[in-house]
Amino acid sequence: MPAQASAPEAPPMASPEAQETGETPAKENHVATGAEQTRAPASPLNRSWLVRHFSLLLRRDRQAQKAGQLFSGLLALNVVFLGGAFICSMIFNNVAITLGDVWILLAALKALALLWLLYYTARTTRRPQAVLHRDPHAGPAWVRGSLVLFGSCSICLNVFRVGYSMSHIRCKSQLELVFPAIEIIFIGIQTWVLWKHSKDCVQIQTNFTRCGLMLTLATNLLLWLLAVTNDSMHHEIETELSALMEKFSGNNTNTCLCLNVTACEVFQKGYLMLYPFSTEYSLICCGMLFVMWKNVGRRLTPHTGSHPGTPPFYLHGAILGPVLGLLVLVAGTCVFVLFQIQASGPAIARQYFTIYYGFHAAALPTMSLACLAGMAIHGLEERELDTLKNPTRSLDVVLLMGAALGQMGISYFSIVAIVATRPHELLNHLILAYSLLLILQHIAQNLFIIEGLHRRPLWEAAPESLAGKWEAEPPRRGSLLELGQDLRQASLAYIHSYSHLNWKRRALKEISLFLILCNITLWMMPAFGIHPEFENGLEKDFYGYRTWFTIVNFGLPLGVFYRMHSVGVLVEVYLGA
């Protein structure tokens, strides 16, 4: 019995099924045990230590990034408040704080911003590991093109200002020559830096870079605020014109007159025509600097950084939208030329105001109906919403909504002035209809554009399960080829599944092209000197010259920027349709 008890047990006989397949339970247990050992995770102690270590590092990195953003934002806020206090003091008490004092403050800010821009270009971006990523969505071609266009116009504006001051050198201070020269240098260097580095995601000297970007942004914001509120040059031009009229009538005047009347007239016309472009330039720079500030320290994942090729701009059989848009463009150009010819004379006849407002009363409701039709088609579509985080798209939406407040604000002020004074005249009826239709068109177009921007473009669309598979599964040997085949099959299946929506996409392209041409027409009129809101005299008499000048100079550049920005984002909506 003890021998039998101590004898080892005989291994169990394999089942007939196991004997047929050549597998034994021991072998199955051995294989299972080996698989479990290969898949066994690390010990809980080591895993918890690694998790705690890396989570602590990530938390500290996020806290440092938030602290840097907070400090740089507070720096910009304090600079804007200081400059705003100077500008407001100049407006309400121009004896204690003069325009020269504001110029000196802005010159100091420009000098600091220029030093940082040169340091960023010469030192920061040239260090190793400085710019590991570039945001593919930041600084698109139309934004950089607008930056160069408006920057060139702003430089020409300051050249005209210098020429005008030189022609009045007997009664002008040296500061009025120095300040435009500093601004020309500032605009040139800033335009070059933004053109070259607008896509950068800087990884070193992040706090210093954020502070430099916010200082430059605050300087541009103060330049915009001064351009909106400072009407000294316009007052001076009107005073000189009235003094010339008194001189021709035989009355003596103490006003400083230009010796070369022809040259001064060229400088005056050039200054007044290019004045809105300086405010446009400041707004564009603020937007680009803000995107760069958001991208400081940002690390792009491979699938975010690799931007798929955007398809080229083709009409794709769109006919009705371009034809109607070209009709609006030709009609708007004719109205623009007629109004500009009349504006060069001593006074503008009321019939030309009637033509201008009548054209808008016909174009604006057509654009609103097109936007409503586009929103209805978006509702019928089955494309997924693009919910990925995109700072550039978020900024596009914010700029679109913020810039729309400019013309909408002018429209509300015009409505109040018309209703409170003479609402029964034909011209006032047209101005009232124009103001109401402009508000409705801005609302409808904003909704259509925002809906289109958040629809996933067809060439970027891929099933979410595939993206989840890429994120969830670790890369394995031989998985790249399989992943490429899956992506190709999924793309073909996705495009095939949406082939029945062809007419909807074509309608969206027609609407987008029509709105692009209409917005180009409505951008061209105020951008190149046609300002009936200020020249019809109704609101100016109601609110007073200075108040209405500030309202128009605040809203008009925003309106020009809104039309230009709408063209850019409508191109994106067209390409994504």
Residues paired with 153 in a beta bridge: none
Q: Is the pLDDT of residue 53 over 80?
A: no
- Alpha-carbon distance values, 574 to 14, 88, 311 (Å): 70, 43, 11
- pLDDT tens-digit map of 82-100: 999 998 888 777 677 888 8
Cα separation, 473 vs 484, in Å, equals 15
Examine the pLDDT at 249 and tell me if it is beyond 70: no
- What pLDDT is attached to residue 268? 78
Q: Which residue has the higher pLDDT, 321 or 489?
A: 321
pLDDT at 15: 45
pLDDT at 80 over 90: yes
Query: What confidence score (pLDDT) does residue 3 get?
Result: 41
pLDDT of residue 21: 41
pLDDT value, residue 2: 41
- Secondary structure letter of residue 313 according to DSSP: -
Alpha helices in 296-390 (DSSP H): 302-305, 320-343, 350-380
Report the chain's C-alpha Rg in angstroms: 33
Instruction: Specify the range with the lowest mean pLDDT, choosing from 321-335, 384-398, 479-493, 499-513.
Output: 479-493
Query: What are the residues whose beta carbons fall under 8 Å from the beta carbon of 295, sequence distance 6 or more?
Result: 135, 138, 199, 200, 201, 202, 391
* Residues 513-534: tens digit of each pLDDT: 999 999 999 988 887 766 777 7
Among 161-165, 190-194, 293-297, 467-471, which stretch is predicted with the lowest mean pLDDT?
A: 467-471
- Look at residue 198 and tell me whether its pLDDT is greater than 50: yes
Q: Which of 9-13, 37-41, 234-238, 398-402 has the highest mean pLDDT?
A: 398-402
Give the whole-angstrom CA distance, residue 66 versus residue 59.
11
Range among 228-242, 248-262, 412-426, 434-448 rated most confident? 434-448
Residue 466 pLDDT: 43
Write out the two tokens for 471.
């994120």
User: Out of 36-45, 58-67, 188-197, 382-391, which region has the weakest mean confidence (pLDDT)?
Assistant: 36-45
Residues listed for the chain: 577
Q: Is the pLDDT of residue 216 over 90?
A: yes
* Cα gap 499→531, rounded to integer Å: 47
Q: How far is it, in rounded angstroms, from Cα 459 to Cα 491?
A: 8
CB atoms within 10 A of CB 503: 9
The answer to whether residue 351 scores a pLDDT higher than 50 is: yes
What the block records as the tokens of 220 is 């541009």
| Alpha-carbon separation of residue 382 from 386, 492, 517 (angstroms) | 12, 17, 28
pLDDT tens-digit map of 144-153: 888 998 899 8
Confidence class of residue 481 from pLDDT cuts 50, 70 and 90? low
Residue 71 has pLDDT above 70, yes or no: yes
Q: Which of 369, 295, 359, 304 is nearest to 329 (CA)?
A: 359
- pLDDT, tens digit, 9 for 90 and up, residues 490-513: 555 555 444 444 777 788 888 989
pLDDT at residue 389, rounded to an integer: 67
Greatest mean pLDDT among 43-52, 289-298, 340-349, 435-444 lies in: 435-444
Minimum mean pLDDT range among 101-110, 230-239, 425-434: 230-239
CA atoms of 206 and 296, how far apart (whole Å):
6
Token couple for 434: 């124009």
* Residue 13 predicted with pLDDT over 60: no
Element (DSSP H or E) covering residue 201: strand 200-202
Average pLDDT of every residue of the chain: 75
Question: What percent of the chain clears pLDDT 90, i.e. is strictly above it?
Answer: 19
pLDDT band at 33 (very low <50, low <70, confident <90, very high): very low
